[in-house]
Amino acid sequence: MKRIRLLIICLCLFLFQGCTNCENNAFGDAGYTIDEVNLEVGLKKPVRLIVINDLHLQINNDEIAADQKEFMTERVKEFTYDGLSTEKRWKKLPKLINDVDADYVLFAGDILDFNSEATTAALKNGLDKLNKPYMYVRADHDMECYWLSNVVPWDAADRQAAICDNDSLQVKDLGEIIIMGVNFTQNDISEGTLDRIKEVMAIGKPVVVLTHIPIGQWQGTELQSCSEEVRDGRRLYWAPGADKEPNSTTAEYISLIYAEDSPVVAVLAGHLHAKWEGQVSPNAVEHIFAPCFSSNVGIVNIR
């Protein structure tokens, strides 16, 4: 009898694990590497997030400047992976996202490779097909009209604003936990944005920060070593001495994450084009996701 009970328990555990894996099968079956992150926060109701970053959606049409066409042709090849250009990849991604059980989708910047009429229209078309709510924080590639023949910065901003919320700070209260998206992290934080960040952190709920460019560690050199190794000596994060040297306002924002009483429990980022995880502060882990253009997607389970 004891053997039978033990077999039943083992079978149940196996089936449970199998069902858990099945929830991600849409991505796995499509050839994606799933980077699964588990955060223990003490929630009564678990939250599951999908993270997409660094897609670098490219459409090489007549908007590209004549003297940049050859360069863009090679760049499209560079970002093509498993036979999928970023344009073809994005056409398939919304359905895959819809087929995976999750509460929210986070787009962590550089979803576009350059801001053109064609790329922003294609992005919006895919986002409109999603059956889940989402947050999209931008970075330089999402906002800048790189390599185009006709560059009108305010047109680029208008195109992005027409896709979805493009405010400097995006906040989603999921009940027991808050997702705080810091937009435009290629630039320093404004004083107005800092004031709003302080208000969010004062609410008294755990906070998950969504950012494109990572935050440097308050202690340790693991992130520095990883960044220098994978990006030819560059330190692709915000910290003194890094590629992004914070001004006083940005430094104060970072200090709010580092504080011993900080409500920030996790920082989710991209930009590095490689996976990394480590302790960014006394209370928070930072997870940098590998790029979507090379068939990577993140799943974050918060319990």
pLDDT tens, residue by residue, 183-203: 999 999 999 999 999 999 999
Helices (H) and strands (E) in the chain, counts: 10, 11
pLDDT tens, residue by residue, 23-81: 568 999 999 999 999 999 999 999 999 999 999 999 999 999 999 999 999 999 999 99
| Radius of gyration of the chain, Cα coordinates, nearest whole angstrom | 20
Residue 159 token pair? 């195109």
Domains of the chain: 31-302 (3.60.21.10)
Res 183: pLDDT = 98
Tell me how far apart the alpha carbons of residues 162 and 155 are, in angstroms, rounded to a whole number. Answer: 11
Res 73: pLDDT = 98
Percent of the chain at pLDDT > 70 equals: 92
Residue 103 token pair? 């509460």
| Mean pLDDT taken over the chain | 93
CA dihedral 70, 71, 75, 77 (to 10 degrees): 30
Residue 236 Cα distances to 42, 126, 188, 245, 285, angstroms: 32, 29, 14, 10, 17
Q: How many CB atoms lie within 10 A of CB 151?
A: 14
Residue 303's nearest CA partner among 15, 34, 36, 32 is 36
pLDDT tens, residue by residue, 138-179: 999 999 999 999 999 999 999 999 999 999 999 999 999 999
Res 13: pLDDT = 39
Between strands 33-39 and 296-302, the pairing is parallel
Alpha helices in the chain (DSSP H): 2-22, 25-29, 69-78, 86-98, 117-127, 140-143, 153-163, 191-201, 222-230, 248-258
For residue 276, give the amino acid letter.
W
pLDDT tens, residue by residue, 225-247: 999 999 999 999 999 999 999 99
pLDDT tens, residue by residue, 96-114: 999 999 999 999 999 999 9
Res 23: pLDDT = 58
